[in-house]
Chains A and B, each alone.
Chain A
Amino acid sequence: MSTSTNLNCYHCGTLVSKPDAYVFNTHQFCCAGCLTVYEFLTQNNLEAYYSLKDKVAPNAQREPVSFSKDNFKALDEDVLKNGELCFFLEGVHCAACIWLVEKVKDHVPGVTEARLDLGRQLAYFKLSQAKASDVAKVLSRLGYTPHTVENNQKELFIRANRSALLRLGIAGACMGNIMMMSVAIYGGATGHIAHLFNWVSVVLSLPVIFYCALPFYKQALASFKAKHFTIDVPLALGIVGASGVSFINVMQGRDVVYFDSIAMLVFLILSTRYLLQKIHQWAQDLSLNPWIFPKTASVWNPSTQSFIPVLASKIAIGDTVCVAVDELIPVDGVVIQGESWLDVASITGESQPQLVKRESFVFAGTRNTHSELHIKAIQTQEASRLSETLKQAQSQQRPALVSLSDFWASVLVSVVLVISAGILIWGWYFNAGYQAFDRVLALLVVTCPCALGVAVPLTLTLAMKKASKHHVLVKNPDVFEKLTQIQTVIVDKTGTLTTGTLDVKQWTPILPHRFSDHFILSMVFSLEEVSHHPIAQALRRFCLTQQANTIELQNRVEKIGVGVFADYEGLHYALKQLNETEESSPQTQIALYVQEQVVAVFYLEDTLRQDSKEVIDFFKQNKISTLLVSGDSSGVVKAVAKQLRLHDWVANAMPDDKLKWVNANPKALFVGDGANDAAALKAAWVGIAVQGSLEMSWKAADACLISSGLKPIQHSVTLSHSALHIIKRNLWLSVVYNVLFGGLAIGGYITPLWAAVFMPLSSLTVVISSLMWPKIKDVL
């Protein structure tokens, strides 16, 4: 038997925990899943994948393949639109995957096109006769788990992107060419040439005014109707006014035109909006990942006397559903056959798995970890507890917040509009209409609130990008502003401060002379070899790091809820919970018994994340109070709170209690995961979902972490302060500039032409200011 410990799986590269268990063509594999994929690839002459992936992406992170037992038949129920099929693929990581996915075309007859969008992890297929389930089956054989996605949303995104890009590109082209004309005129061209150039500018500005700038008019109109002035109002007025006057001037043979400034303004603002749109979509793409509910389920069909695949959303009350190991429970129900352990962390937040047997209630969204269960549906998926929580999370009202830039923009806009109207009345009264119009135009052009229209979105976009580099996906840029104002941090325990998986902290041999350490560990390893229980997995992991071997055992029995028992060389061995465990102990204590005598005790604990302490200290240094609210028992919660020196802690908290705590602290940052936290994430001033959370947390949260650990939260708080610093600086620049030049324009000291020169200069200043990020080290 090989005892080499540094063996990596040939397919996914993870450490092989059981050497020689899965071997094919002399290659070692970590699990049956990876082995099956390898077999499939070799059978279909696709083994080039392996050399390819080593060549193009040797360091890409991969995960072991876990097969869903789904046969995807239920997919065929949905009618395909023009034979097009789109899947979100779990498990794609590099260029080699592009190659593999596009090979599907050659291996499934009836597929005419296969394409993978690596960035979004979306695979597109065009089918002539092939069935959706055939494609899904092959994808799953290749080691990717296909999830269906809402095709409509994808199409909407693509259409929105294309039209935004068209507007942007055309505005850019027109701007460049108009500039060429303007340079000649600024350079002193007069007479016929100037006149000709002006007419060319008129023609070139038509697409900008009537096509590229359309979104501004629409939004200006909408903001008028909503009686909340956004910067689109002066933008639209400026564009319409300036182009109108320019056109009249050209008609009358005067050389005062502003087409270049209009085109530049439109182009600049369109480009920042395009960037923002892209980032928003990218964030939304992630929420498409459909993990919470299983898409299909096996339901008993009385007429065929067998389990058949059915879309989980179509399960009716009273149906009998078969849930295999490692599958999610599709609906709320009652167990009618089998007993097993359920991972209920997504519902209650408890780290310990829950034992279920006949008559036990089970909830949708929990995971079956041990053995097959048959359940009778007592609710449809739509009405399940998880769905209800989700609906509650979505309907929670956010605290109303008029953000800084919105507020100032509307103030500026209102002031400018009022002054403009004043000037026009003045002009009409004193019969100086033309002069008044010139001043109004200069004012509108010169005060176009670029610091708000360009610089604030640009700063926020950059902040979002920087945040994503620190592994924080921000859904809504308002978060940055709010993060600078938090007073309390409320954290969840399981999966947030801790990793959410049990680990062996330490172990003590009680009778050290009778058995060697190596024997004890090998015995534990062999006893737990096939169990799915998290405690078994933790023990197995631990024993492996201590070079444990497999021992051949006799009469191995696993009693659910009790322990594992086996015989070896005439002695009876048992691995179960230590009899005299204290109730309030924060640790789970598992003992190895020989003939009912304790030989060794293992202490298991949900490990704290490495950076939890540092991040909590960071908040404490900044005088933000820290509160731990967890659904776990008081012993565990207290231990964690003590270890991290949190200000306060609450144990045994149900989702409603968490919501209460969040509501009691108006400026609270809530950090959590899991479905049970969704309502709290949504209700909190700022809600951040940690990695590994369900889709729902992401829907409810303002931001989401995509790496393990809490360090990114600290980064995003400091980042927010930098961003707010820049925004305030830009606002000051803009206030000074607008008051100064606005005043000059009202006084008639600036002609619209000069206004058009100053406006881009001021934009440039704020853009440069937005790009200069101050180095703020962990200071609030």
Chain B
Amino acid sequence: MNIVLLLLPASLCLALIFVVAFIWATRKGQYDDLDTPPEKILLDDD
């Protein structure tokens, strides 16, 4: 069962990375407008 001692911190670190990414994205305003980007993907870049 000692493997738990390795897996537990590893999984928590992974979780932490995602949480930090989520906080960063929210602060950057990535979730402010969820209506426009799905429409925008239809537009070609020129």
- The residues of A with any CB-CB pair to B shorter than 8 Å are 48, 52, 55-56, 94-96, 98-99, 115-120, 158, 161-162, 165-166, 169-170, 173, 176-177, 180, 193, 196, 200
Contact = CB atoms under 8 A, between A and B. Distances in A.
B43 interface: yes
A165 B15 contact: no
B40 A95 contact: yes
A98 B35 contact: no
**For the side of the interface on B, what is the size category?**
20 to 34
B6 to A, nearest CB: 13
Interface in B1-46: 1, 4, 8, 11-12, 15, 18-19, 22-23, 26-27, 29, 31-36, 39-40, 42-43, 46
Given A162-B26, A165-B31, A94 B15 contact: no
Contact of A193 (B1, B26, B40, B43): B1
Nearest to A48: B46
B27 A162 contact: yes
A117 B36 contact: yes
A119 B35 CA distance: 5
Contact of B33 (A56, A96, A117, A176): A117
B35 A170 contact: no
Contact of B42 (A95, A115, A180): A95
Given A162-B26, A169-B19, A94 B35 contact: no
A173 B39 contact: no
24 contacts: A52-B43, A55-B42, A56-B42, A94-B39, A95-B39, A95-B40, A95-B43, A98-B43, A99-B43, A117-B32, A117-B35, A118-B35, A120-B33, A161-B31, A162-B26, A162-B31, A166-B23, A166-B26, A169-B23, A173-B18, A180-B11, A193-B4, A196-B8, A200-B12
A510 to B, nearest CB: 56
B19 A161 contact: no
Main secondary structure of the interface of B (DSSP, over half): helix
Contacts of B31: 161-162, 165
Given A117-B35, A119-B35, A165-B26, A170 B43 contact: no
Contacts of B29: 158, 162
Contacts of B15: 173, 176-177
Given A162-B27, A200-B8, A170 B36 contact: no
A94 to B, nearest CB: 7
A115 B39 CA distance: 13
B39 A118 contact: yes
Contacts of A169: 19, 22-23, 26
Contacts of A166: 23, 26
A98 B36 contact: yes
Contacts of A118: 33, 35-36, 39
B29 to A, nearest CB: 7
A162 B32 contact: yes
A96 B4 CA distance: 54
A52 B34 CA distance: 21
A180 B7 CA distance: 12
A173 B19 contact: yes
Contact of B40 (A98, A177, A196): A98
Given A162-B26, A162-B31, A98 B12 contact: no
Contacts of A193: 1, 4
A119 B37 CA distance: 10
Nearest to B33: A117
B43 A56 contact: yes
A177 B18 CA distance: 12
Contacts of A170: 19, 22-23
Contacts of B27: 162
Contact of A116 (B1, B34, B36, B42): B36
A56 B39 contact: yes
B19 A98 contact: no
B3 to A, nearest CB: 11
B33 A119 contact: yes
B26 to A, nearest CB: 5
A158 B26 CA distance: 11
A96 B43 CA distance: 8
Contacts of A120: 33, 35
A56 B8 CA distance: 48
A158 B27 CA distance: 10
A320 B43 CA distance: 48
Which 4 interchain pairs have the tightest Cβ spacing? A119-B35, A95-B39, A118-B36, A56-B42
